[in-house]
Structure 1
Amino acid sequence: MSQSEGHSRRMHAGAPAAPRFVGAGLRSDEIADHAQLALQRLPTLATLMARSVDPLGYRHGLQALALPQPLSRRLGRLAAEHPDLYQHHLVVAIVADFLAAGLQFADTDRQALLLAALFHDAGLADLDAMAQVGDYSKAPLNLIDAHPAMAARLLRDCPDVPEATVIAVLQHHERPDGSGYPSRLAHDALQPLGQLLAIAEAAGSVLPHRRPLALLIWLRLVRPGFRTDAIDLLVRGLHGIVLPGYSRPSESRLLILSEQLGGQAALFDDWLAQREHLRALALPDFVIERLDRIYGMLAQLGIDPQRIELALDSVADDELVTQELLALVQEIDWQLGDLLRDIERQTSPQSNWPGWRLELEALVQRLRAARGERG
């Protein structure tokens, strides 16, 4: 559930009409058919899979799954009662198999990963009040943090489920820098299938709603926070994909772009001095590293936070630059929101962070201002 926390963290592929729940649950061949339909609805994903070393591997893998009856029934109920969440699981499964095939994982690992993808967010379906409105961003963080363990418990109750599948589900929101959840594991503590599922889950959340160029920008931005060879595989797969339908932004859209970019540039005004000040406060490394990453993206595209008018001038005459800058601003907004949530998570009442609350609150207010939030 990567983008289910924030402006797009629970955005899934458009779901078909919800199937009727059948007590016997879903058969493996039915799941494979549903995955193929999900693929066909997403041109970017379809093109990506056409470039896979095993384009039909996800389908064959799903057909070969021997789902225990409790899991078959649970998936059938998920498809009927929470179709968007079910569609998200299917997209994540397809992306996960693309990664596993491209990185030459063994067939047994690919099967374990597909099973993990099909159930990784199943715990969210138990959060009925939130699932009914489809807005998990309003959920208390302690409930959001619990959903990997809830899904893992469901799988562990079935003796035939591989332990690698359970661990992958538990770790699909962990991050190498230790800023993930629920256990804040880092680096060597993360298992390979968990690392792939984390990337597939994040990519599967944004892929249905962004054009290839925006996805490439997103991948460049998040690359340090994931397994880099898997990110690079996605970049190669997405490179050069062009979809029809681009249009030049309207004046109102350009005004919104100007306001958003202006707020973000203000956040990074004199960033090098700001960074030294924050380091002197002994803030956790992930806060400064994430801000550094965002600042680096601005610099990589030649945007000077003190002279954003130069970037805005270039937008007016070049449609591709316009699209890239719009995508960048959207990604920075998401990254800032993601950082805010991680700060909130790690500064909860049970946290033992030191007492520089005033400085931290000032930083949070600046982050909110950069996102255009009021109050």
Structure 2
Amino acid sequence: MTVIDGARSSRSNHRFLDCAVAAAVFAYNLPVQGFAVPDSAVSWIAYALPAGLCLPYVFHRRRPLSMFSVIVATAYLQLVLGVELLVADVMLVPALHAVARSRPPSNSVPAAVAVAVWTITMTMPSMERYSMSFGDVGLLVLIVAIAWLTGMLARVRNEYVHSLQLRAEQVERDAAAAERTRIAREIHDIVSHSLSAIVLLSEGAAGTVRQDPDAAAAAMKTVRDTGREAMTEMRSMLTVLHSDDPVDRVPAPGVAQLDGLVERSRAVGIPVDYRVTGEPVELPPGLQLVIYRVIQESLTNVGKHAGPEVRAVRVHLNYGPATIELTVADDGRGTDSSSASGWGLMGMRERVLAQGGTFDAGPTADGFHVAVSLPAEAVR
């Protein structure tokens, strides 16, 4: 059975139960209604009043306020016609409960007052006949109050459950948006770095293919390897997108892949000086990915913006006792923040801040620098 079929079955069961309750009270009322209807009343009243009190209850789930209005109007008509208490009058209690359960206090409080006033007005003149005391009348009013209160509590609970469902849906939407942002950032880093390297290598190969065919062939081989690596990373991203199983997740690039990243950058003509100082420690995959992507994006920006006059690009990763420091600095012509904005610097900044670190990037007197500091307590 599907969820939709189950919901339909539940509604059908509720409808059957509502009809059964209304029919049972109406049928039970018929044998005794003659004692309550005065002789002067026309015979149809003996059937119309119980019908007006019972049958509208069938609609208490779909039209609670309309249902209550018909029932309470019938009850007050009974009072005006001088008809004494009927068994069907008990339907005022579940009708009030239905209104309190589904409508705000601005509707349910007047409804409760109307039923309470009717109860007092209807029972007070009949106290002696039915051997009732003021305590009995008070008990009936208390039953009315309990019907209203339980309906109100049910309404509050339903609203609370609904708010939790909305909150859970919002959390799910936020998580999906965050995942989309993460994937977009990863794709940007993969494609931007790889295409930049491919463009630089292709331009170099095109310029040397006649003078130095071997160098051009080596450059094109590096283009091939760079493209294959980018395809591998993209397949890994697609695997994650199409699988909910953590086992299927391919390990993200990290510190161990930095040497290869540096070598590929050197192959495209970026003079990278890579140094590691301090005592290296095992880092969580998330932090390793941040370090890798920051260096990758920084080297990509060097290839795009530093110009051919760049003589040195210093990449320094330092494992300190309290922080892990990462700097990437070049002596090229650099770039302003606007030309390196967007997914590049913004993506790096967001990655670092998400790990509780600090990020700084900007032009210097002789080039451009990126400085990152990550708290050691987040990685040990």
- Bigger Rg, which one: 2
Normalising by structure 2, we get a TM-score of 0.24
Indicate the structure with greater strand content: 2
Higher normalized contact order (CA 8 Å, seq sep 6+, divided by chain length)? 1
